[in-house]
Amino acid sequence: MKKLLALLVICILAVSLYACAGKDNSVDTLENTVFSADDLPGKRIGVQLGTTGDIYASDYEEEGSIIERYAKGADAVLALKQGKIDCVIIDDEPAKVYVSQNDDLRILDEPFETEEYAIAMKKGSDLKALIDGALEELIANGTLDQIKSNYIGEAAGQSPYVSPADVTRDNGTLVMATNAEFPPYEFMDGNDIVGLDVDIAQAICDILGMELVIENMAFDSILAAIESGKADVGIAGMTATDERRQSVDFSISYTTATQVIIVRK
DSSP 235-259: -SS-B--HHHHTTEEE----EEEEE
Query: 257, 114 in Cβ contact below 8 A?
Result: yes
* Spans of all domains in the chain: 25-114, 119-238
Q: Can you give the pLDDT of all 265 residues of the chain as single tens digits?
A: 434 444 444 444 443 433 444 434 344 458 999 999 999 999 999 999 999 999 999 999 999 999 999 999 999 999 999 999 999 999 999 999 999 999 999 999 999 999 999 999 999 999 999 999 999 999 999 999 999 999 999 889 999 999 999 999 999 999 999 999 999 999 999 999 999 999 999 999 999 999 999 999 999 999 999 999 999 999 999 999 999 999 999 999 999 999 999 999 9
Does domain 119-238 correspond to CATH entry 3.40.190?
Answer: yes
Neighbours of 47 (CB within 10 A): 25
Please give the model's pTM, rounded to 2 decimal places: 0.80
The architecture that CATH gives domain 25-114 is 3-Layer(aba) Sandwich (3.40)
Q: How far apart are CA 38 and CA 14, in angstroms?
A: 40
Q: How far apart are CA 40 and CA 35, in angstroms?
A: 9
Q: Which has the closest alpha carbon to 69: 57, 60, 81?
A: 57
37's CB contacts (< 8 A; 6+ apart) are 110, 112, 261
Q: Would you say the CATH fold of 119-238 matches that of 25-114?
A: yes
